[in-house]
Amino acid sequence: MTSNGHTAPPLLEVRRATKLFGGSVFTGKPPTVALDDITFSIPDGRPSITAIAGESGSGKTTLARMLLGIISPTAGSVLYRGRDVSKMRGSERTHFRREVQPIFQDPFESYNPFYRVDHVLTTPARNFKLGKSKSDLQTRVDEALEIVGLNPAETLGRFPHQLSGGQRQRVMVARALLLRPRIILADEPVSMVDASLRATILDSIRKLNRELGISVIYITHDLTTAYQISDNIVVLYRGSVAEAGSVERVIKDPSHPYTQLLVQSIPQADPSKRWGEAPVRGDMDRAGPATGCKFADRCPYVMDVCRQQSPPLFQPQPNRVASCFLLRESKVAPSPDVASVFDLPATATPVFKGARS
Amino acid sequence: MTTAPPAGAAPRSTDAGAALTIEDLKVYYDTPEGVVKAVDGVSFTLKQGERLALVGESGSGKSTLAMALMRLTKPPGRIAGGHIYTGDVDLVALDQREMRMRRLDDIALVPQGAMNSLNPVMRVDDQIMDGIVDHIPDGQKPPPKAEMRERVRSLLGRVGLAPHVARMFPHELSGGMKQRVAMAISISLDPKVIVADEPTSALDVVVQRQIMQTLGRLQEGLDAAVILIGHDMGLIAQFADRIGVMYAGKLVELGPVQHIFQDPLHPYTRLLIDSLPTLERKKDFVGIPGLPPALLNLPDGCVFHPRCPRFMSGKCDIESPGLLDARPGRTVSCHLYTEAHR
């Protein structure tokens, strides 16, 4: 990284990425647009937590898989430190695979039930040739488990079924951590875990960011936990960015009608704040409008222009963009990269206090 | 009354306004390692038109209880004791055929994951009619087709579905629509009690709100009682009148939703509520220390004592607290309130 940090390319970048699935030239069936021209980046040097939120079908998992290099975009590109991920080969790809670590949704399916939990920790260590000696590796494993709040003596040597869902998911966080990544991508890491155990997992993810300086991409449908752990949020609707910016701004004062609908629908754990009876139009499962704003068919404020043109990203405040014609008095965002308006933590945290190997 | 009726108490006549009375219900699973007491001595009463939510972690016994209320407990599970009264009838004492007639008519289930509870090769209207036809008493003829069709149409309307859904197959419907079909089936014979087992667990927030609001309207229209089973405290805060908190097969606290959220009595309930993320302000996460106990090997005394921040040595680890009427309309099973009572 250069000294001023601004000239360095972003750590991870999605540039004008579109992903289509299915469709047929023979039957004329149009493909499904899972992601539609998304531009988004994770800057180098100022680690933060970014939430990518949306309902089923919003494209959030497609985006996650693209960021991990599991699938390639149909158009556009995914770059890691300025290099196209889909063109990486050999040691470069191994390096990328090591620096961007996933944590998946289901802590039950990520394990082979016949192996002890040590297996998920030692396999990546072996593949990436971590540790100079056995004892060095053991120290690293213990350290990673301790960071996520697990006692190595009580965890290692056990079979997956002997651990709770929360513990299993924290071993997965430790596994990601073991490789000392720059970015952790967590895809719904707590949606299958009991409420009382969610807190500890989210806390360990927050710690990775605050104390170890790892950037986190938190993919979720749950705006409450997104609000709690993230600095910034990107709200996706049918593969496009509806709204993005500082989480305080977007969740506390949503400006896109879709974000408003989402926030109003959150079941708040407070009986004095019951849901309103605000009517909900339409259903996400129906095919969206072919032209214009993708939310036009459900929007309570729909105007003629919404059905004719796709709204650009407007920037009503310095730390927020939203793609809605209701904001057309505001300036159009100068950059398609929604991360350009993000509030980032002020100081750069050193990446791992110890030396990286 | 200071404690719940002891095991084996004679059936008492139920309250006039009670839609459902559960007395000392026990559901056990016989496993090779021993008997798992999934529901162990739960008692409560549900008034007509009331919404009660049962909340608990996985393994707390809440879904086992829901299945037992429907008498759908499958081996190796069995109802090991207790009574379930709807009106004057004890569902536990009924034989399979009689129980079959009670289901849908008296007590109906809105299942968890409607996507898996509908028959994939039957059209929606046939599935709705199936239950209605099955409840026609022996010797009576089913109503004419036109009348049945009209009935299906009206049921679909009540759950917010268009009439043309009647001729569709489940795979043509979205998750939310399938859940609505499941609700239409459950209200088809105007039950007095609706058991909703995590009815929205696989749905997005917007659809979840729509489904829960529909369920609320149906319940009000029927003046039925609803038992909502769930682990999402947010959803429960939105929907319920009263909350029952389950822990390791026992009901540890029961009270009105406002009171439980404002002033939880049981230390477990307090930790559960404190662990919830809110939209109010960013805060540090507080988890509940420790893990839920293995049901095969429950701790002595209070089942929560190994995790309890207010554990009293020599009391909580020895003696099991009964269910106490700690405040008007509120019961709790905790020695903190035994002391206060004496």
Q: What are the pLDDT digits (tens) for A215-235?
A: 999 999 889 999 999 999 999
Report yes or no: A238 and A36 within 8 Å, Cβ to Cβ: yes
Residue A262 is nearest to which of B177, B206, B238, comparing CB atoms? B206
- Answer yes or no: do A265 and B209 touch at CB < 8 A: yes
Name residues whose C-beta falls within 8 Å of residue B320's C-beta, 6 or more positions apart in sequence. Answer: B300, B301, B302, B303
| Chain A neighbors of B284, CB-CB under 8 A | 203
Closest by alpha carbon to B222, among B179, B191, B196? B191
Q: What is the pLDDT of residue B6?
A: 44
Q: For the residues A155-175, what does the mean pLDDT come to? A: 87
Task: State the nearest Cα–Cα gap between A163 and chain B, in angstroms.
Answer: 10
Map tokens 């003046």 to a residue. Answer: B223
Interchain CB contact of B13 with A (< 8 Å):
no
Instruction: Assign A183 a pLDDT band (cuts: 50, 70, 90).
Output: very high
Q: Does the structure show a pLDDT above 70 at A348?
A: no
pLDDT given at position B261? 93
Tell me the ipTM for this assembly: 0.81
Q: Are A20 and A33 in contact (CB under 8 A)?
A: yes
Q: Which residues neighbour A346 within 8 Å (Cβ) at sequence distance 6 or greater?
A: none
In A, which residues are within 8 Å of B277 by CB distance? 198-199, 202, 224-225, 227-228
Whole-number pLDDT of residue A162: 85
Parts of chain B with a pLDDT under 50: 1-14, 341-342
CB contact under 8 A, A195 and B205: no
Tens-digit pLDDT profile for residues A317-331: 999 999 999 999 999
* Range A130-151 average pLDDT: 86
Mean pLDDT of A28-48: 87
A325 in contact with B, Cβ within 8 Å: no
Please report the domains of chain A, with CATH numbers, ordered by start residue.
12-230 (3.40.50.300), 257-266+285-348 (no CATH)
Confidence of residue A287 (pLDDT cuts 50, 70, 90): low
Chain A residue with Cα closest to B286: A199
Token digits for A65? 């898989």
pLDDT of B9 reads 42
Is the whole model's pTM more than 0.90, yes or no? no
Q: What is the dihedral of CA B219, B225, B227, B233, to 10 degrees?
A: 60
CA dist B248 and B298 (Å) reads: 8
* Residue A354 pLDDT level (bands cut at 50, 70, 90): very low
**Range scoring the smallest mean pLDDT among A2-11, A155-164, B69-78:** A2-11
Cβ–Cβ below 8 Å for B238 and A284: no
- Spatial CB neighbours of A25, under 8 Å, sequence gap ≥ 6: none
CB distance A227–B204 less than 8 Å? no
Task: Point out the least confidently predicted range of A86-90, A114-118, B198-202, B278-282.
Answer: B278-282
Rounded to whole angstroms, the Cα distance separating A338 from A319 reads 10
Task: Name residue A68's beta-bridge partners.
Answer: none
Q: What is the mean pLDDT of residues A163-178?
A: 87
Positive or negative CA dihedral for A109, A113, A118, A124?
negative
| pLDDT value for B339 | 62
For residue A311, is pLDDT > 90? yes
pLDDT band at A356 (very low <50, low <70, confident <90, very high): very low
Report pLDDT for A355: 36
Tell me, what's the pLDDT at B153?
93
| Predicted pLDDT at A243 | 96
Backbone angles phi, psi at A118, to 5 degrees: -55, -30
* Torsion of Cα atoms, A196 then A200 then A205 then A207, to 10°: 150
Task: Report helix angle A134-147 to A118-127, nearest 10.
Answer: 120
- Whether residue A271 and residue B257 make contact (CB cut-off 8 A), yes or no, is yes
Distance from CA of B333 to the nearest CA of A (A): 20
User: Is the pLDDT assigned to residue A63 strictly greater than 80?
Assistant: yes
Beta carbons of A284 and A56 less than 8 angstroms apart? yes
B174 and A CB contact within 8 Å: yes
Instruction: Give the integer Cα–Cα distance in Å for B267 and B126.
Output: 49
pLDDT at A274: 82
Distance CA A108, CA A124 (A): 18
Q: Which residues on chain B are in Cβ contact (under 8 Å) with A268?
A: 234, 237-238, 278-279
Are the Cβ atoms of B174 and A196 closer than 8 angstroms? no
Q: What is the pLDDT of residue A283?
A: 60
Q: Which of residues 25-54 of B touch A (CB under 8 A)?
A: none
